[in-house]
Amino acid sequence: MSINKLYDSFDKAVADVFDGAVILIGGFGPADGCPSYLIRALYRQGAKNLTLVSNGPGRGRPAPGAPPPPGPRRSPPNYDDGGLLIQNGQVIKCVCAFPGHGRPGMMSAFHQLLAEGKMAVELVPQGTLAERIRAAKAGIPAFYTPTGAGTVIEKGKETRMIDGKMHVLEHALKADFALVRANKADRWGNLVYQGTSRNFNGAMAGAAKVTIAEVNEMVALGELNPEGIATPSIYVNRICSRKDSREEGA
């Protein structure tokens, strides 16, 4: 039986995301590596009480008629981030490295809910966040890192002196679903990224029980240069193509 992980719609690809799931979301700010179509599909699907794990929670969409936030932000076409799910009341916790700005004029749904005590947040140093995700992917339950030792990051965690330096024990970040974005894929699930869009996507692919990849283009088997495949097919469970799959209105 031939292997074909391609789904014909983003809605089908996320249909089994359940309430209370832990979701990894790839991307890095407005860089073109955010799985926006999968995020919108999850928005339509409506799963609640989600925990989002990402570099940042995302700002979501501006209110109708609201002025754009200050700064030279240029988002890619058809861009949505995890903030859309937060705005929709689907998220109860965010695990992130950069929570964004919460000052006047740059408030987001995440900051508003946090201020109201309706959102939990776990701040993790960026490198530690990537390594916790990679550890889950590699089957490593925990690791020691000097990052955060002697700061609020170590509060409530085990510490140990190694080579004369204090280290903090960090645990693997296990997830139920990973939503990632790649440039090209074949039907087996081999993924190739474009430039900096690889960012957290490469680490997150395979770090969850189910990895769903949103890709710009599907190619035939054998067309991808093996040396350029950053995520082997064994780490990918489902694929949706922006070019070929259906997307309902968000």
Regarding predicted confidence, which is higher, 136 or 69?
A: 136
Pick the more confident residue, 143 or 247: 143
> What is the Cα–Cα distance from 132 to 140, expressed in whole angstroms?
9
Q: Does the domain spanning 10-61+77-140+175-241 belong to CATH 3.40.640.10?
A: no
pLDDT at 29: 72
pLDDT at residue 35 in the model: 95
Q: What is the pLDDT of residues 194-230, one digit of tens each?
A: 988 899 999 999 999 999 999 999 999 999 999 999 9
Reported as a pLDDT band with limits 50, 70 and 90, residue 1 is very low
pLDDT exceeds 80 at position 126? yes
pLDDT score recorded for residue 94? 97
- Structure token digits, residue 55: 């570099």
Does the structure show a pLDDT above 50 at 120?
A: yes
> What's the pLDDT score for residue 67?
59
CB under 8 Å to 17, separation ≥6 — which residues? 23, 42, 45, 47, 50, 176, 177
Contact 185, 213 (CB under 8 A): yes
CA atoms within 13 A on the CB side of 193: 24
Residue 72 reports pLDDT greater than 60: no
Q: Which helix (H) or strand (E) holds 241?
A: strand 238-241
CA distance 28 to 33: 7
Q: Residues 10-55: pLDDT tens digits?
A: 999 999 999 999 999 999 876 778 999 999 999 999 999 999 999 9
* Token pair in block for residue 3: 């292997």
Which is it for strands 165-171 and 159-162: parallel, antiparallel or unpaired? Answer: antiparallel
Does residue 123 register a pLDDT over 60? yes
> 205 vs 65, 145, 190, CA distance in Å?
37, 23, 11
Sign of torsion over alpha carbons 187, 188, 189, 195: negative
pTM for the whole thing? 0.92
Q: How is the chain split into domains, by residue range?
A: 10-61+77-140+175-241
Q: What is the DSSP string of 141-157?
A: -EEEESTTTTSGGGTTS
The residues pairing with 143 across neighbouring beta strands, listed in sequence order, are 170
Across residues 235-247, what is the average pLDDT?
A: 89
The predicted-structure confidence for 173-192, as pLDDT tens digits, reads as follows: 999 999 999 999 999 999 99
pLDDT recorded at residue 129: 97
Residue with the larger pLDDT of the pair 85 and 250: 85
The pair of three-digit structure tokens given for residue 245, joined into one six-digit string: 């799959």
pLDDT band at 68 (very low <50, low <70, confident <90, very high): low
Query: Across the strands, what pairs with 211?
Result: 178
CB-count exposure of residue 11 (10 Å: 0-12, 13-18, 19+): buried
